[in-house]
Structure 1
Amino acid sequence: MQDIQSRSNVCYANGAIQKHLSLQLIRILRIRSGDAFSPANRSELAAGYDLYAAEAAVVPARGIVGVPTGIAVAIPYGTYGRVAPRSGLAAKHSIDTAAGVVDADYRGEIKVLLFNHSDTDYPIAAGDRIAQFILEKIVPDAEVLEADSLPESVRGAGGFGSTGK
C-alpha cells in the first residue's frame, strides 16, 4: 500500500498565496500488481490527481466504456472523490466522464466511465491518463428536515440561464 500525502493546502489571503501543511491522506491500494499506477498531480496547484488506465480499451464512437484503474482508495472522512474529465481529452477528442462519485466508504476498484461524444473510436493504452480524481468536502452529518416553506432568495425558482447570458 502506498500513501499519498498532499503537498500543501493553499489559502488566498490579501491577494497572497499562503501554504499550510495538510494532514489529509489518500491511501492507495494497487489491486492489480504491475498494471496499476498511483494517482499523481502534475503541478503544485493542480486540483486533481491524474487517474491512469490499468489496461487497454477502446471508447466507441458515441459510446461509453468502463476503464479499470487497478487501484482502490481510502479517503478522509468528510470528503468524497470526484472523478472528473481531463480537459485535454475533452477539448481534443470529445471524451467525457460519467458517474464520477467515489464515496469515502467505498473500497473497490475505481473504474472510470468514459463517454465518447465524437464519431470516431478512441483507443486507450495501459498507462494513459484518462481522468482526474478530486477530493471534495461534504457535510456527512447534515440533517434533512421537511419544511412547509423555504426562505426567499433573489434568484427564486429561476432555472437554467435565469441569472444572465
Structure 2
Amino acid sequence: MELMIKLLRQGAKAPTRATAGSAGYDLYACLEKPLCIAPGEAVGVPTGFAMALPDSGCVGLVYARSGLAIKHGLVPQNCVGVIDSDYRGEVLVALRNQSAAAYTVAPGERIAQLVIAPVLLPEIALTDCLPDTDRGDGGFGSTGRK
C-alpha cells in the first residue's frame, strides 16, 4: 500500500511517523514566517503538500496533536478534518486556539496528525421499521449511571 505525496513548494515536508507504533503521520506547518493565532481565532495552516490516498476505500482523518491541544489549546477547528480519497489539493489544517493566550506556530512545526482509515459505504435502504435492540431509542446518558 502506498500514500503518494506531492510537495507543492519549498519548505514543505512530507508527513512522518514519529515511531514504529505511531498510528498517525505528523503534519508540518509550511509557512514562510511564524503565524500568531489569537485566542478564539481559527486559521487554515498550509502543509505544502497534496496527496493521493491508496484507494477509494480510504479516508484521511486529521486529528489534534495531544501536546498542542493540552498545553496550548490548539485543536482542529472542525474537531476532525476529513480528506476524501478523490481530493488532490493542498492539505490545510484548520486550527482553532481555544486557550486564553495567543500561540505562534513556527515554520516547520508539527501541527496535527493524519490517520488513514478504511471507509464503509453501505447502500442506503429506506424503511418504515428498524430492528429492535435492548437500548431502543434511549439517547444521551441512557446507558450511564443510575
Paired position in structure 2 for 1:108: 89
Paired position in structure 1 for 2:58: 79
What CA distance in whole angstroms lies between the structure 1 residues aligned with 2:143 and 2:54? Answer: 35
What CA distance in whole angstroms lies between the structure 1 residues aligned with 2:125 and 2:35? Answer: 45
Paired position in structure 2 for 1:163: 143
Structure 1-normalised TM-score?
0.80
Where in structure 1 are there 5+ consecutive unaligned residues? 1-23
For 1:159, the aligned partner's letter is G
The reply to whether residue 120 of structure 1 matches residue 96 of structure 2 is no
Where in structure 2 are there 5+ consecutive unaligned residues? none
Report Cα offsets for 1:80-116 as digits up to 9, x if no partner.
Answer: 0000000111110111113400000000000000011
Tell me by how many angstroms 1:73 deviates: 0.5
For 2:111, the aligned partner's letter is I
Structure 2-normalised TM-score?
0.90
SS of the residue corresponding to residue 80 of structure 1 reads strand
Report Cα offsets for 1:119-147 as digits up to 9, x if no partner.
Answer: 1111001100000000011024x211111
What CA distance in whole angstroms lies between the structure 1 residues aligned with 2:41 and 2:139? Answer: 29
Question: How many positions carry a matched residue from both structures?
Answer: 140
- Equivalent of 2:8 in 2, 11, 31: 31
My pick for the range that moved more, 150-159 or 92-101, is 150-159
The reply to whether residue 63 of structure 1 matches residue 44 of structure 2 is no
Instruction: State the identity %.
Output: 44
Is the Cα contact below 8 Å between 1:95 and 1:116 reproduced in 2?
A: yes
What CA distance in whole angstroms lies between the structure 2 residues aligned with 1:48 and 1:163? Answer: 31
Cα RMSD (Å): 1.2
Paired position in structure 2 for 1:50: 26
Is the Cα contact below 8 Å between 1:58 and 1:65 reproduced in 2?
A: no
Tell me by how many angstroms 1:43 deviates: 1.1
- Equivalent of 1:152 in 111, 132, 144: 132
What CA distance in whole angstroms lies between the structure 2 residues aligned with 1:158 and 1:101? Answer: 29
SS of the residue corresponding to residue 3 of structure 2 reads strand
What CA distance in whole angstroms lies between the structure 1 residues aligned with 2:137 and 2:36? Answer: 42
